[in-house]
Structure 1
Amino acid sequence: MTAGRLRVGGAELAWERAGSGPAVVLVHGSGDNHRSWDAVAPALAETHTVIRYDRRGHSRSSAPPGQGSIREDAADLLTVVDELAGGSAHLVGHSYGGSVVLLAAAHRPTAARSLLVHEPPLFALVDEGTRAEAGRWMRQAADLLEAGDAEAGARTFVDHVGFGPGSWAELFDDDLRATAVANAHTWLDQHRDPDRLAVDPSALAGSGVPVTVTTGTATPPTYRAVVAALREKLPGAAVARVQGAGHAPHLSHPEAYVNLLRARLRDDRRSRVLPGRDRGQGS
Structure 2
Amino acid sequence: MVNVEKQNSGVFVKGNPNGGAVVMLHSSLSSSSQWRTLETKLADEFLTINIDLLGYGSAPQVENPESYSLNTEYKRIMNVIANVIADRPFHLVGHSLGGANALKIAVQNPNRLLSLNMYEPVAFHLLEQGTIAREEVDDFAKVVASSSDEQAARYFTDTWNRKGFFDNLPVKIRQLMMSDINKVNLDFIGLISEKYTLDVCAKISCPVLLMHGSHSPQISGEVIKRLLSVLPNVTECEILAGHMAPISHAEEVADIIFNTLTIK
Cα displacement string for residues 111-149 of structure 1 (whole angstroms, at most 9, x for unaligned residues): 3211001111123434621333343232111101xxxx3
Instruction: Give the unaligned 5+ runs of structure 1.
Output: 6-11, 270-283
Check 1:206–1:153 CA distance in 2 against 1; reply closer, same or farther (3 A cut).
closer
Code of the residue aligned with 1:78 in structure 2: it is M
CA shift in 2, pair 1:17/1:179, >3 Å? farther
Distance 1:232 1:53, change over 3 A: same
Task: Report the equivalent of 2:158.
Answer: 159
Asked if 2 retains the 8 angstrom alpha-carbon contact of 1:201 and 1:233, the reply is yes
TM-score, length-normalised on structure 1? 0.80
Q: Distance in 2 between matches of 1:204 and 1:224?
A: 17
User: Given the alignment of the two structures, is residue 208 of structure 1 paired with residue 210 of structure 2, yes or no?
Assistant: no
Q: Which amino acid aligns with 1:255?
A: E
RMSD: 2.4
Aligned to 1:49: 47
Identity of aligned residues (%): 23
Distance 2:39 2:167 in 1: 24
Q: Deviations over 1:37-58 (max 9, x none)?
A: 2333212223321111211222
Gaps of 5+ in 2: none
2:111 match: secondary structure: helix
Distance 1:18 1:157, change over 3 A: same
Q: Which residue of 2 aligns with 1:140?
A: 143
Contact map agreement 2:123 2:191 (CA 8 A) in 1: no
Aligned: 1:238 with 2:235: yes
Is 1:75–1:104's contact at 8 Å kept on the other side of the alignment?
no
Q: Does 1:223 align with 2:220?
A: yes
The Cα of 1:175 is off from its aligned counterpart by 6.0
User: Does the 8 Å CA contact 1:39/1:250 hold for their aligned counterparts?
Assistant: no
> Which residue of 251, 259, 264 corresponds with 2:260?
264
What is the deviation of 1:13? Answer: 3.4
Residue 6 (structure 2) aligns with: 4
* Contact 1:59–1:182 (Cα < 8 Å) also in 2: no
Q: CA contact under 8 A between 2:111 and 2:205: conserved in structure 1? A: no
> Mapping of 1:79-158 within 5 angstroms?
79-87=79-87, 88-126=89-127, 128-144=131-147, 149-158=148-157
3-state SS, counterpart of residue 42 of structure 1: helix
1:19 aligned residue (15, 20, 26): 15
**Separation in 1 of the partners of 2:163 and 2:133?**
17
Contact 1:93–1:116, Cα closer than 8 Å, also in 2: yes
- Of stretches 229-238 and 96-105 in structure 1, the one that deviates more from structure 2 is 229-238
Distance 1:194 1:251 in 2: 22
Tell me, yes or no, if the aligned pair for 1:32 and 1:183 is still in contact at 8 Å.
no
Output the amino acid matched with 1:229: R
The aligned counterpart of 2:29 is: 31
Aligned residue pairs, count: 255
One-letter amino acid of the structure 1 residue matched with residue 237 of structure 2: A
Q: Match for residue 59 of structure 2? A: 61
Match of 1:272 in 2: none
Aligned to 2:77: 77
User: 1:200 and 1:139, CA in 2 relative to 1: closer, same or farther beyond 3 A?
Assistant: same
Paired amino acid for 2:72:
E
